[in-house]
Structure 1
């Protein structure tokens, strides 16, 4: 499939899918988009884009730098999480490579806060993430958030957007919610209306 052309801003950004305000991992898995017309959009397509997304989600400081190998690791975990989400939605067994990737991310960062000293604070606990471990921390946080979603009370609400070709996941906060956004809902309703007109032998276009 074709990427959105360089210099083409493409469609306006979609709002976060329902549930993304509770689970950063849900917003994370939705950073790859399928668009009408066979186009795709990658929101983590460069170190600068990845750094911007991570900073917006309070996962790294605003002035932190992200390098290409880190961006590749982020996209790899994202894709494995998408496999787990899809398996959960479809009622299928969790893919072993995806489980392994998530567990490696969970084990990749130290969980315990270190003991520090500051003249003003005295002895205190502090979570230290040297620059070379920052991505390990980010991956662990996102993997843990995804694991909480997949094993918690909201797991049964996890769904895939019903509007083709959208690939985003959402939480169905009420029974009638089938789409990740108003845009996808409008597109699905328009497609159904077109199909009804076609079956009835009516005009194909408005």
Structure 2
């Protein structure tokens, strides 16, 4: 699978699709969907470089826009994302949660305060600030995302979790109704086109595999 190239600013040449249903409600779902399999054997990783990871965090108020991230930081984000995807898949498939994925999310939960703490100084008096210094920005982001993931996986919306049913897409979503398994209009159109093509092919070749349209 080929990776989508980025411009000099770290932005991908091909833009990412719109957020999947539920991703605007749960940043953890949006986080899990930063690994994108695209048609044509291409792959887009929205956390694939420090610059891309910083932009993604800043756009979701998880890091200041002038933060400095290194590759080790981006790699930590990608590692938690991969473990979260394991948890989402196991929840959708009604399988036991993998121990390593549980450990990764729990470690992130306690890695940094996920809320602004109370502080006092002569100029501002009592006020709330994030407790993390610059070198702990990623710890804070991981803690927030892990807490959001825990809420999603243990709350009532967990029953609505689904994986997009339009190969090669590998995004997750919250179903808006019982039959919705597509994360975007684009994926839905592609799935319908694939089924229509399979039906035409079967009509021409009676012995074609009846599972081709699935």
1:100 to 1:112, Cα distance in 2 relative to 1, 3 A? same
- The match for 2:189 among 186, 189, 204 is 186
Deviation at 1:112, TM superposition (A): 6.7
Structure 2, gaps ≥5 residues long: 206-214
- The match for 1:129 among 132, 137, 162 is 132
C-alpha RMSD over aligned residues: 1.9
Query: Does residue 19 in structure 1 map to residue 27 in structure 2?
Result: no
1:110 to 1:194, Cα distance in 2 relative to 1, 3 A? same
Measured against aligned partners, the alpha-carbon deviations of 1:80-107 in whole angstroms (never above 9, x if no partner) come to 0000000011111101100000000001
1:197 to 1:101, Cα distance in 2 relative to 1, 3 A? same
* CA contact 2:114–2:143 (8 Å) conserved in 1: no
Deviation at 1:50, TM superposition (A): 0.3
Give, in whole Å, the separation in 1 of the partners of 2:14 and 2:135: 35
Give, in whole Å, the separation in 1 of the partners of 2:152 and 2:178: 19
Q: What is the aligned partner in structure 2 of residue 158 from structure 1?
A: 161
* CA contact 2:35–2:44 (8 Å) conserved in 1: yes
Give runs of ≥4 in structure 1 deviating > 6 Å. none
Q: What is the aligned partner in structure 2 of residue 46 from structure 1?
A: 49
Give, in whole Å, the separation in 1 of the partners of 2:161 and 2:113: 29
Residues 101-140 of structure 1 aligned to structure 2 (within 5 Å): 101-110=104-113, 113-140=116-143
Residues 10-89 of structure 1 aligned to structure 2 (within 5 Å): 11-89=14-92
Give, in whole Å, the separation in 1 of the partners of 2:194 and 2:15: 20
Q: What is the aligned partner in structure 2 of residue 170 from structure 1?
A: 173
Deviation at 1:40, TM superposition (A): 1.1
Deviation at 1:110, TM superposition (A): 3.1
Deviation at 1:39, TM superposition (A): 1.7
Measured against aligned partners, the alpha-carbon deviations of 1:147-200 in whole angstroms (never above 9, x if no partner) come to 100000100000000001100000002123110000000000000000000000
1:139 to 1:196, Cα distance in 2 relative to 1, 3 A? same
Give, in whole Å, the separation in 2 of the partners of 1:167 and 1:41: 11
Give, in whole Å, the separation in 2 of the partners of 1:44 and 1:119: 40
Deviation at 1:9, TM superposition (A): 5.3
1:113 to 1:200, Cα distance in 2 relative to 1, 3 A? closer
